[in-house]
Amino acid sequence: MLVGCCGFAMPQERYFATFPVVEIQQTFYQPPQVATAERWRERAPEEFEFTLKAWQLITHPASSPTYRRLREPLTEAARERCGFFRHTKEVWAAWDRTDEIRRTLQAQVVVFQCPARFTATEEHIENLRRFFTRMPRSGWVPVWEPRGNWPKDVVASLCQELDLVHCVDPFAAESVGGKVAYYRLHGKTGYRYRYTDADLRWLAGRIPRGRRVYCLFNNVSMAEDAQRFVQVVGKVASGH
């Protein structure tokens, strides 16, 4: 099991010495320069693992408030063609930029986090199917985090058909697909939530056996909670 944070929750040198994995958030808002990703990879231990979020131009429409952090201006016409896995030059160019950083970081996982407005309509399902069917992939795993109203059976069927990993917050939902388990812990009541010892013991008991598991904390006390969780898992494994 790999435990870490969504973003560097402490100075990089200390983070690399503390955790075995980090989920890069910057790639969602605006992919960094390749030279920046190269520095991250060079500074990290050889066995350290990077995962990253796909650029928002792939998943989110331009009306999303997260576009406020986009540094590259888009024309009105281009804005209309972004998001929801649309089959457009803007979406595919955004994937090329994401994939360039993935390859630089040697990342094995890319997280496609969707907005709540991306619901299980026929159009959205077709967009999803076309995007992941066309996408070349080798040596990495696509992780899908749906946030809209998606029936479990539809999610499970798409994950099986498209070879996707269903990403969830285990305190809010159950994963229904994927060869690995990928958990993003957003706080039981929101970002400011601090996990209790009882929460972490419950989570340790829910970790599936026989699968590669990622647990990425994404709350205000993510670094502290992630370290405490590692200790709890160790105690559970030792029978204490």
> For the chain, first and last CA: distance in Å?
19
pLDDT for 239 beyond 60: no
When pLDDT is cut at 50, 70 and 90, the band that residue 37 belongs to is very high
User: Phi/psi at 182 (nearest 5 deg)?
Assistant: -130, 110
Minimal CA–CA distance to 97: which of 64, 71, 123?
71
Determine the Cα–Cα distance for residues 100 and 74; give it in Å rounded to an integer.
21
User: What pLDDT, in 10s, does the model give residues 187-226?
Assistant: 999 999 999 999 999 999 999 888 999 999 999 999 999 9
pLDDT band at 138 (very low <50, low <70, confident <90, very high): confident
Which residue's structure tokens are 């920046």?
36
* Average pLDDT of every residue of the chain: 95
Where are the extended beta strands (E) located within 56-164? Answer: 109-113, 141-145
pLDDT at residue 234 tops 90: no
Q: Is the per-residue pLDDT at 7 higher than 80?
A: yes
96: left (phi over 0), alpha (psi -120 to 50) or beta: alpha
Scanning 106-221, the segments in alpha helix (DSSP H) are 122-134, 152-162, 197-206
Domains in the chain, CATH or no CATH each: 2-238 (3.20.20.410)
Dihedral class, residue 106 (left if φ above 0, else alpha if ψ from -120 to 50, else beta): left
- For 162-175, the pLDDT digits (tens) are 999 999 999 999 99
Q: What are phi and psi of 192, to 5 degrees?
A: -85, 0
- 27 burial level (CB within 10 Å; 0-12, 13-18, 19+): buried
